[in-house]
């Protein structure tokens, strides 16, 4: 069987997922939405078999996901149901079989309610090396064990599920009350040497200002990107994760002053400041090439 002419060679799923800023969920039982999600501008699509799908529709959602990814025209992550649930084993089995096809579009697996490093290690061992594995941390136990999860060999990056986490600890879902959890995932990822995590999606869809504020918060915490639940969120999140014109101007001034004792806008310039400036300019360059 030869690859469709429209299918172009791409990098491995691990590389794509590790570098993604936006990851857009699409319900697995709504295959008519798959193409729209793929055309949204999101760096990666996540076909959801869990929260967005009613219990009775999960087999249909799995079949729809496998069919779409087997045809080669769509590339996506798949969020399976949590370890220990009734459908988890059959979903993983079907996705592993899909990964054996020569021209499949599976980029990897998202594991919700991630808490057990041993379970992740077992799944990682079964997955082809080029497929991504993303633990979604959504509980107090998951946050406490974030370092353990980040250190599982082959985990691509962590992701944060704020709504379920807030429910688990009986907290208000407002961002202020989740600061510790967010910082924990960022620190665990950095210490584990993996890509910066993906932040929880904003529950706002129509209020662009609130979406932008949530994305800006995530960026300032040190997240590398954000989950999205609607295509309208994608361009807003992408924009907030790019350096502003004032950021770029400041970085250029700093680089211009590098090499001696100097001040820029009242700040003493030393190595950490110049390194941050270089990082901003590199991020701007990548953003320009991405656009």
Does pLDDT of 2 surpass 50? no
Contact 65, 96 (CB under 8 A): no
Distance (Å) of CA 125 to CA 128, 152, 154:
8, 11, 9
Q: For 261-290, what is the mean pLDDT?
A: 66
Q: How does strand 195-199 pair with strand 225-228?
A: parallel
Q: Which residues pair with 108 in a beta bridge?
A: 77, 132
CATH of domain 13-241: 3.20.20.60
Instruction: Of 8-22, 63-77, 161-175, give the range with the top mean pLDDT.
Output: 63-77
Q: What are phi and psi of 50, to 5 degrees?
A: -105, -100
- Residue 288, pLDDT score: 61
DSSP string, 121-153: HHHHHHS-TTSEEEEEE-SHHHHHTHHHHHTST
Radius of gyration of the chain (CA): 20
Mean pLDDT of 145-165: 97
Listed in sequence order, the residues at least 6 apart from 238 whose beta carbon sits closer than 8 Å to its beta carbon are 21, 22, 41
Annotated domain spans of the chain = 13-241, 246-290
Does 118 belong to an annotated binding site?
no
Rounded average pLDDT over 207-214: 96
Tell how many helices (H) and how many strands (E) occur in the chain.
13, 10
Q: How many CB atoms lie within 10 A of CB 233?
A: 25
**Alpha-carbon distance 15 to 9, whole Å?**
13
Beta partners for 135? 111
Percentage of residues in the chain with pLDDT exceeding 70?
A: 81
Model pLDDT for residues 226-248, shown as the tens digit of each residue: 999 999 999 999 999 987 666 66
Confidence band for 219, pLDDT divided at 50, 70 and 90: very high
d(CA 16, CA 211): 24
Per-residue CA distances from 121 to 110, 111, 154 (Å)? 13, 12, 8
Once rounded to an integer, what is the mean pLDDT over residues 40-55? 96
Give the model confidence (pLDDT) of 71-124 as tens digits.
978 999 999 999 999 999 999 999 999 999 988 999 999 999 999 999 999 999
Which helix (H) or strand (E) element contains residue 199?
strand 195-199
Helices (H), 28-144: 34-38, 58-70, 88-99, 117-126, 140-144
Q: What are 250-264's pLDDT values in tens digits? A: 667 767 766 555 666
pTM of the predicted model as reported, rounded to 2 decimal places: 0.85
On whether 138 is known to bind a ligand per the annotation, the reply is: yes
For the ranges 5-14, 134-143, 171-180, which has the lowest average pLDDT? 5-14
Q: Residue 1: pLDDT band by 50, 70, 90 thresholds?
A: very low
Q: Is 79 annotated as a binding residue?
A: yes
- From 128-132, 176-180, 214-218, the region with the lowest mean pLDDT: 176-180
Lowest mean per-residue pLDDT among 20-29, 135-144, 257-266: 257-266
Q: pLDDT value at position 6?
A: 41
């Amino acid at each position: 069987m030869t690859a469709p002419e429209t299918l172009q060679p791409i990098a491995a799923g691990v590389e794509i997922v590790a570098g993604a800023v936006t990851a857009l969920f699409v319900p697995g039982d709504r295959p008519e939405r798959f193409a729209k999600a793929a055309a949204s501008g999101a760096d990666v699509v996540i076909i959801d078999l869990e929260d967005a799908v009613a219990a009775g529709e999960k087999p249909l959602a799995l079949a729809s996901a496998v069919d779409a990814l087997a045809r080669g025209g769509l590339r996506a992550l798949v969020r399976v149901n949590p370890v220990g649930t009734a459908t988890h084993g059959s979903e993983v089995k079907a996705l592993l079989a899909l990964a054996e096809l020569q021209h499949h579009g599976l980029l990897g697996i998202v594991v919700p309610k991630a808490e057990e490093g041993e379970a992740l290690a077992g799944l990682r061992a079964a997955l082809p090396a080029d497929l991504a594995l993303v633990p979604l941390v959504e509980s107090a136990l998951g946050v406490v064990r974030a370092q353990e999860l980040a250190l599982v060999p082959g985990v691509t990056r962590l992701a944060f599920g704020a709504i379920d986490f807030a429910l688990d600890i009986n907290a208000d879902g407002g961002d202020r009350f989740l600061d510790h959890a967010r910082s924990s995932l960022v620190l665990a990822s950095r210490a584990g040497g993996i890509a910066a995590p993906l932040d929880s999606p904003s529950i706002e869809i129509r209020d662009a200002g609130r979406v932008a504020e949530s994305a800006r918060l995530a960026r300032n915490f040190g997240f590398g990107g954000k989950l999205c639940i609607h295509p309208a969120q994608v361009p807003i999140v992408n924009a907030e994760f790019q350096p502003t014109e004032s950021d770029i101007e400041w970085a250029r001034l700093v680089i211009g002053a590098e090499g001696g004792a100097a001040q820029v806008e009242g700040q003493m310039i030393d190595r950490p400041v110049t390194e941050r400036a270089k990082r901003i300019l590199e991020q701007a360059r990548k953003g320009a090439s991405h656009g």
